[in-house]
């Protein structure tokens, strides 16, 4: 599968413009270029995750959207149809409200909650704020917040709480993280050293179902020797890509 997490319906992939940037870089540098956060890399290394690079033709996957906000919501509508009646009304407010403002309203670090993670088999998390699909549905099914039309602003405490819950869901379920801007490109703190490349989301499918798929095992040594990446990290994660297939 494009992701080893059984609960993931969508996986992050990258455009052909990313490949030539891999030349001359070790695996740590490739991960940082693609937008992996140092704390995320350390966590995966501690879990003994095996990183692999999957290369395939653009035509090898269906239902693939560039990671713009419109692309995100198109995929939500088609791959999470059970959530659509609840979340569609929050599209405009999520797009137009800076992440930092939502997090300040929440009163806690969404990234810290996300890093707690969940069981890869059950999809459950030990933190009640971590927003899985099951918890998102439970929240909305037990609230009165179902609108017919999209809202451009919210006022009630319940509506604000719903916005926080939905944004945490995007963070935890899709990997739409704190630096995501919706322009469809990766994001780096040092654009000259780590230029942007196109990023996409697609359905998580078995690799055997992708025509022309080639799986490459990169040299893991640079990751194993870089457990303190936070001390010299130059790229922060704007998303949650998947190389642990």
- Residue-averaged pLDDT of the chain: 84
Q: Which of 156, 162, 155 is nearest to 89 (CA)?
A: 162
Inter-residue contact 76 to 84 (CB < 8 Å): yes
Q: Are 32 and 233 in contact (CB under 8 A)?
A: yes
Residue 189 has pLDDT above 80, yes or no: no
Between residues 98 and 159, the one the model is more confident about: 98
The two tokens of residue 41 are 């890399």
Global pTM reads 0.85
pLDDT digits (tens, 9 = 90+) for 47-100: 888 889 999 998 999 899 999 999 999 999 999 999 999 999 899 999 999 999
DSSP-derived 3-state class of residue 202 = strand
Task: Please tell me what DSSP assigns to residue 172.
Answer: I
> For 95-118, how does the pLDDT look when each residue is reduced to its tens digit (9 = 90+)?
999 999 999 999 999 999 999 999
Q: H helices of 132-230, where?
A: 133-141, 157-169, 221-224
Tokens 């797009």 correspond to: 95
Banded model confidence at residue 42, pLDDT cuts 50, 70, 90: confident
pLDDT tens per residue, range 195-229 = 788 999 999 999 999 999 999 998 888 777 754 45
Classify 215 as helix, strand or coil: strand
Position 237 confidence tier, pLDDT thresholds 50, 70, 90 = very low
Take residue 223 and report the two structure tokens written for it. 């990751």
Locate tokens 């140092």: which residue? 38
């Amino acid at each position: 599968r494009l992701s080893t997490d059984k609960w993931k319906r969508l996986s992050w992939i990258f455009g052909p413009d990313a490949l030539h940037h891999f030349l001359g870089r070790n695996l740590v540098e490739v991960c940082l270029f693609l937008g992996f956060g140092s704390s995320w890399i350390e966590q995966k290394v501690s879990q003994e995750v095996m990183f692999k690079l999957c290369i395939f033709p653009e035509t090898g996957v269906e239902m693939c959207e560039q990671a713009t906000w419109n692309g995100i919501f198109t995929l939500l509508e088609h791959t999470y149809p059970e959530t659509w009646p609840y979340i569609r009304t929050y599209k405009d407010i999520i797009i137009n409200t800076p992440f930092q403002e939502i997090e300040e309203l929440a009163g806690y670090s969404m990234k810290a909650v996300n890093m707690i993670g969940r069981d890869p088999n059950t999809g459950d998390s030990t933190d009640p704020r971590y927003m899985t699909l099951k918890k998102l549905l439970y929240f909305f099914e037990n609230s009165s917040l179902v609108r017919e039309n999209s809202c451009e602003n919210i006022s009630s405490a319940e509506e604000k709480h719903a916005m926080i819950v939905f944004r945490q869901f995007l963070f935890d379920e899709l990997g739409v993280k704190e630096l995501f801007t919706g322009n469809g490109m990766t994001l780096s703190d040092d654009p000259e050293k780590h230029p942007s490349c196109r990023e996409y989301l697609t359905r998580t499918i078995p690799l055997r179902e992708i025509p022309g798929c080639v799986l490459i095992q990169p040299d893991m040594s640079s990751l194993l020797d870089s457990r303190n990446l936070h001390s010299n990290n130059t790229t922060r994660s704007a998303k949650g890509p998947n190389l642990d297939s």
